[in-house]
Structure 1
Amino acid sequence: MGCNESQQKKESPSLEQTTTLQSTQDAEIAVLYAQGFTIKKQGHITFIQVKSPWPNANAPFRYALIEKKHKNQLKDSINYLRENFDAVVFTPVKRVAATSTTHIPAFELLDVSDHLIGFAETDFISSPELRKRVESGQIIELGSNESLNEEVIIAAQPELFIGFGVSNQNKSYATISKAGIPVVYNGDWVEETPLGKAEWIKFMGAFFGKSEQANQIFNAVVTEYNKAKKLALEATSRPTVISGSMFKDIWYAPGGESWLAQFFQDANASYLWKDSKGTGSLSLNFETVLMQARDTEYWIGSGQFISYSQLKQANPHYQQFNFFKKKKIFTYGLSTGDKGGMLYYELAPTRPDVVLKDIIHILHPNLLPNYTTVFFKPLQP
């Protein structure tokens, strides 16, 4: 079943209807924060349903993961599964191709970096460990997600291709799937909460036979996140903050229900647009932002800007903001890999606890006095 045929395929059987394939006990794997996927283990098969591969998806994608050591035992079931699921994957996988930098941290955290053999736009990888593998040729270039080198991917013969998309119209994915390479969608980027994004490490762990390790990693992140959130409540003030950046005379700012807005709330900050609706971006003209945010104390997340001189050159009116005058602007643009890839885009979704600590340290330095920020750095002169 091709990965792009989900919406045309006949309705898949419920997970319960496939219990005749196994004789061992079922186990639901807890997914506590993420809204986009579920995992259920039945005997030697793990069923994953990705409900939100992209916003407003019309149908879920279903994947059946079969333990390699039981492949022969279940050979009569495999054709049935292939007819009724979007991909059948034999686990643990040892050769994987991936497409998004948000997938990268899971390879390191789950100790399977050597399993990644190909990646789309390798220059965006920030991880020093995986950059070494790119430079040594152990991770090959696959092109861009919108223009994949299908021949290179098929020749590399990965056991799994992990993709992402804004729709099911990527023709390369269909070609890869028809070549016998299982294609799965990782929808981590669709999640709207910090811990929801981070929980997708459980999705990744299932393919490597690392579910227990993934649970331990995620539980540690939750613990650290909640400790930091509780610590922030000890602050004696709630500094005012804005975020986002200008592009062609429009200031794009995170909506009040967005991923980043939740970090500000949990850091005990007063985000200027906290009462706005929506999880996407607000589109504001510069005059509106200047009028509303002139006296705001902090600007955290200034896009690609890395210096005050750069800001001043882009628009002299930035100098009218209080945070410019008092040098309280912080950017993720100074934390990059050797080829310029942004560490924030790569690691932040998996480590929201670190993002939250960064923001708490900036806004309430007395609460984390010995902490060194990982993502957000002060703008250069």
Structure 2
Amino acid sequence: MAVLSTTHVPYLLALGSTDHLVGVAHGASVRDTNVTTRLADGRIVELLRGDRLDHEALLGARVDLLFDQPFGRSDLTSRVEGPRHVMITEYLEEHPLGRSEWIRAFGAILGQEAMADSIHASIVARYEAASRVIGSIGSRPSVFYGSAWQGRFHGASSHSLMAQLVRDAGGTYWSGSNGPNSNVTLDLEGFLAVADTLDHVGMALEMDHPPDALDLVGGERRIAAAPGIVRGGFYGNSGTSDLFGRALLEPDVMLSDLILILHPELPIDHRPTYFHRLDQ
């Protein structure tokens, strides 16, 4: 079998099915060492780089089951013949437990329903236990989480995975006034005005070293001095952690990371994995 999204790999890993994996997309973005080792020695081939599907590699790998996702695909795989083609849309789930529950779909397809059900039940139990740490907190700090690119700042809507995590971690997610289903895009001046009012500003990054405040905001010095960054800046770095892979099956860890950031006053024994304060 093969996957055309790196987000599918952790589900196969959890079910112990990677021995049957012969093809992946975007190999450089895969974090699991078992898969990267097999990529390096040729037992797994890279099928997709950028928007180009390597049809010859797909045929040569003799793939009989192809996991794909429709986002941005156009007709990329519409002409693929041979393997059974299964579309996976876990990225549409707004709740962390909704994304992790996709392991049950993989389990059903691969004939491992009982194992998948057991894994997900454990995930739910751990997530609910982590969320109970919040209890009856007195205040909910305001939080923005997004990304910076070429002087513009982008944040997900209030109906998003990160927004749900922030709420469950005892925060108030800031998503502007565009409506609950709309993403937010702000220019430098607009974001500077917002950042001055927030308790925490978090950014998604991809780099091979611990970031500083300037990295967090794309080098914009005026924003780097905002209170939400100086006192409450945090980040998720997909360059050093499997933020878009294994994290999907560890929503309880992501939640505990955020609780530690938003409520350091709570007695939680936890080491950050996916989200870190700037000063950590």
Q: What CA distance in whole angstroms lies between the structure 1 residues aligned with 2:36 and 2:164?
A: 32
Q: Residue 234 of structure 2 is aligned with which of 307, 330, 342? A: 330
Contact 1:294-1:321 at 8 Å conserved across structures: yes
Contact 2:175-2:183 at 8 Å conserved across structures: no
Contact 1:235-1:367 at 8 Å conserved across structures: no
Instruction: Classify the secondary structure of the residue corresponding to 2:186.
Output: strand
Q: Which residue of 2 aligns with 1:277?
A: 179
> For 1:140-186, what per-residue CA distance to the aligned partner results, in whole angstroms no more than 9, with x for missing partners?
11132621110111111112011112266324x23322xx2111111
Aligned length: 277
TM-score w.r.t. length of structure 1: 0.67
Q: Which residue of 2 aligns with 1:374?
A: 273
Which of structures 1 and 2 has the bigger CA Rg?
1
Q: Which residue of 1 aligns with 2:247?
A: 348
Instruction: Classify the secondary structure of the residue corresponding to 1:176.
Output: coil
Instruction: Classify the secondary structure of the residue corresponding to 2:78.
Output: helix
Q: Which residue of 2 aligns with 1:60?
A: none
| Residues 15-30 of structure 1 mapped to structure 2, 5 A cutoff | none
How far has the Cα of 1:108 moved from its partner? Answer: 1.4
> For 1:295-329, what per-residue CA distance to the aligned partner results, in whole angstroms no more than 9, with x for missing partners?
42222234347222435772111233103333x32
Q: Which letter maps to 2:212?
A: S
Contact 2:15-2:116 at 8 Å conserved across structures: yes
Question: Is 1:156 aligned with 2:61?
Answer: yes
Q: Which residue of 1 aligns with 2:131?
A: 229
Contact 2:94-2:164 at 8 Å conserved across structures: no
> For 1:226-285, what per-residue CA distance to the aligned partner results, in whole angstroms no more than 9, with x for missing partners?
122222124343222211122233211121222211111111112233775234521122
Q: What CA distance in whole angstroms lies between the structure 1 residues aligned with 2:54 and 2:233?
A: 40
Q: Relative to 1, partners in 2 of residues 1:311 and 1:362: Cα closer, same or farther, differing over 3 Å?
A: closer
How far has the Cα of 1:192 moved from its partner? Answer: 2.0
| Residues 1-381 of structure 1 mapped to structure 2, 5 A cutoff | 96-144=1-49, 146-166=51-71, 169-171=74-76, 173-177=77-81, 180-273=82-175, 277-304=179-206, 306-311=211-216, 314-326=219-231, 328-333=232-237, 336=240, 343-367=242-266, 369-379=268-278
Q: What CA distance in whole angstroms lies between the structure 1 residues aligned with 2:21 and 2:225?
A: 48
Q: What CA distance in whole angstroms lies between the structure 2 residues aligned with 1:224 and 1:332?
A: 21
Q: Relative to 1, partners in 2 of residues 1:302 and 1:221: Cα closer, same or farther, differing over 3 Å?
A: same
Contact 1:150-1:175 at 8 Å conserved across structures: no
Contact 2:213-2:278 at 8 Å conserved across structures: yes
Q: What CA distance in whole angstroms lies between the structure 2 residues aligned with 1:223 and 1:345?
A: 22
Q: Relative to 1, partners in 2 of residues 1:280 and 1:201: Cα closer, same or farther, differing over 3 Å?
A: farther
Provide the aligned C-alpha RMSD in A: 2.4
> After the TM superposition, which of the residue ranges 185-194 and 136-145 deviates more from structure 2?
136-145
Residue segments in structure 1 that go unaligned for 5+ positions in a row: 1-95, 337-341
How far has the Cα of 1:288 moved from its partner? Answer: 2.1
Instruction: Classify the secondary structure of the residue corresponding to 2:185.
Output: strand
Contact 1:332-1:376 at 8 Å conserved across structures: yes
> For 1:330-361, what per-residue CA distance to the aligned partner results, in whole angstroms no more than 9, with x for missing partners?
1122652xxxxx51111233322221111011
How far has the Cα of 1:377 moved from its partner? Answer: 2.1
Q: Which letter maps to 1:350?
A: L
Q: What CA distance in whole angstroms lies between the structure 2 residues aligned with 1:183 and 1:334?
A: 28
Q: Which letter maps to 1:331?
A: Y
Contact 2:149-2:218 at 8 Å conserved across structures: no
Q: Relative to 1, partners in 2 of residues 1:168 and 1:330: Cα closer, same or farther, differing over 3 Å?
A: closer
Contact 1:257-1:276 at 8 Å conserved across structures: no
Q: Relative to 1, partners in 2 of residues 1:280 and 1:206: Cα closer, same or farther, differing over 3 Å?
A: farther
Residue segments in structure 2 that go unaligned for 5+ positions in a row: none
The percent identity for this pair of structures is 26
Q: What CA distance in whole angstroms lies between the structure 1 residues aligned with 2:47 and 2:153?
A: 34
Q: Relative to 1, partners in 2 of residues 1:166 and 1:253: Cα closer, same or farther, differing over 3 Å?
A: same
Q: Which letter maps to 1:324?
A: I
